Amino acid sequence: METNNPVIFKEHSRVSSHPFGTVNGKDVLLFTLLNKSGHKVCISNYGGTVTAWESADKNGELSHNIIGFDEPGTYFGDHPYFGSLVGRYANRIPHGHFLIGEKEYTVSINNGPHHLHGGFKGFDKVIWNAAVDEHGNLQLDYLSRDGEEGYPGNLQVNVTYSFTDEDELIIRYRAKTDAPTPVNLTNHCYFDLSGNNEPINDTQLLIKANLYTAVDNELIPTGELLPVQGTPLDFTSPKKIGDLLQPGFYDHNYVLDKKEDVFDHVATAIHARSGKQLEVFTTEPGLQFYTANGLDGSFRNRNGKPIQAQTAFCLETQHFPASPNHPHFPNSILYPGKLFESTTKYRITVV
């Protein structure tokens, strides 16, 4: 597609859409993807945002799996990326500065002195072209033009959302460029397996990573890859988050124990009371574990409850933060003639 105007194709029997407000005079849609169990995922073409994911708990009662809102206005305002599709570069680029070869680039500064999640108007704040294919997948397309937020190259991005009968939300990212540019795409769902934004202390977590990227006091990677063993970051065997949790603690990138580009299981979270288990599979080399430390009750969940810190968590599959600044990190520069490809699957079951 050559433009950034929404295009809607014929809807599938398991996919419906309805108006979801307007942004700058342009209509926004909300798509609902259903599976055979009647479970659903809702996705807006504003920011490729996952606004809801509903499935049954161990008692057969439907409940929500992520933090979200029924009113579109919350998503159109300033918020900490609830359910957002994040890019052109997810996570941080220190001082908005990087080199490609010997050429220096500067992107927008929107997080203290640093660049975060694509800048002031990243992929989470644009209206994507939307189409439903013959298989019931939601196809989103966006042309990020050369110079947008300071990034070089025209980047054509396609993101496919699939929702299966096995309660799997599969996200496939594809991109191509006409000039070398950093690319790092992820989704920023805040998982809440309790369905009631309760503290996450009793959620049991496994992350298959023996190393993490060390950061300074501004959360910028130092370049060191350090062992998790003997630290509160060690989830190599299942542990309750609350057993290790410290105030404002988790916002860390894990170096996953897998070969780069190989699709594999990397993390599992279990909430005993609801019986819900979340499994994460990805081709990405890193996983950001974030415990919503910045939330202070100023946002209210769809149930009306204030959303406090550490009442939800994110498991963002990604390339490492600041990868363009550390040559020994997995490469995040996309070149013309190459295709960026990444796949992540979130699966929720009852145990």
Is 228 among the domain residues?
yes
CA distance 86 to 142: 12
Is 2 among the domain residues?
no
Is 273 among the domain residues?
yes
Question: What is residue 11's predicted lDDT score, i.e. its pLDDT?
Answer: 57
Active site residues: 188, 316
pLDDT beyond 80 at 8: no
pLDDT beyond 90 at 3: no
Q: Domain holding 201: CATH number? A: 2.70.98.10
In the sheet with 15-23, reading across from the earlier edge strand, the strands are: 15-23, 26-34, 40-44, 49-56, 62-64
Give the contacts of 17 (CB within 8 A, at least 6 positions apart): 8, 11, 29, 30, 31, 32, 130, 132
Is 71 among the domain residues?
yes
Indicate the Cα dihedral angle 50, 82, 331, 222, nearest 10°: -160
Is 109 among the domain residues?
yes
Q: Which two tokens stand for residue 46?
A: 């504003």
Domain that holds residue 150: 15-350
E strand map for 85-137: 85-86, 92-93, 97-100, 103-106, 115-116, 129-132
- Rounded average pLDDT over 98-116: 97
Condensed to tens digits (0 to 9), the pLDDT of residues 34-67 reads 999 999 999 999 999 999 999 999 999 999 999 9
Of the chain, the end-to-end C-alpha distance in Å amounts to 43
Is 8 among the domain residues?
no
pLDDT beyond 80 at 26: yes
Condensed to tens digits (0 to 9), the pLDDT of residues 164-179 reads 999 999 999 999 999 9
Is 204 among the domain residues?
yes
Which of 332, 2, 33, 339 has its CA nearest to residue 186?
332
Count how many Cα atoms sit within 13 Å of the Cα of residue 147 in the half-sphere of its side chain.
0
Count of structural domains, the chain: 1
Is 10 among the domain residues?
no
